[in-house]
Amino acid sequence: MYSTLVRKAVFLDRDGTIITNQGDLGDPDGVQLIDGVAEAVSSLATAGWLMVVVTNQAGVARGAFTEADIELVHNRIDSLVPSIERYYYCCHHPQGNLPEWKGVHPWRKPSPGMLEQAISDFDIDVEVSWMIGDTLRDIQAGQAVGCKTIWLTNQDRVSEEAKPTLYAPSLAEAAMFVLAEEQVD
């Protein structure tokens, strides 16, 4: 489906992977990094990995915040984690309150649209790239484009619907695995 190209990437979910938020966050003052995230992202970027965030942001569809608020949150994350190359986000949700955002969209994970756009924008080699996230839909989106996946979870949240390449308790541990695995190749 995709050609083998030159850039390697780590796709990251945002909420529950980079920041502690598990709900609608449109206020940059609410940004709280998960322990070890800044160091993990920096170490991956220093090793040559393109860092790309792919995040569902249905709070816009629910009317909880605006796209401008998403940008403010991302700017705040950038001030704490400057190694992120780009953010892709999807505001659509099938049960959204706002008509312009209500419905299914090919960018909404588990659909792979955001990853496909990044692959196209940056000429990413999916076979060596990783998707790291804390939900089943993150893993499914990564698998849909053919990249390796790391599910940030514990055994209580494991699902039979998808088998990731690896499970890890945090982005810090996932980054160590990606870096170690690259040394083996």
Catalytic positions, please?
Answer: 13, 15
Place of tokens 């955001």: 114
In angstroms, the CA 108 to CA 137 distance is 9
In angstroms, the CA 34 to CA 184 distance is 28
Which tokens is 31 given?
């940004």
| Coil/strand/helix, residue 90 | strand
What are the CA-CA distances from residue 162 to residues 140, 144, 166, 173, 175 (Å)?
7, 11, 11, 20, 21
H-only helix segments in the chain:
37-46, 67-80, 113-122, 136-145, 171-184
What are the CA-CA distances from residue 138 to residues 17, 76, 88 (Å)?
10, 23, 13
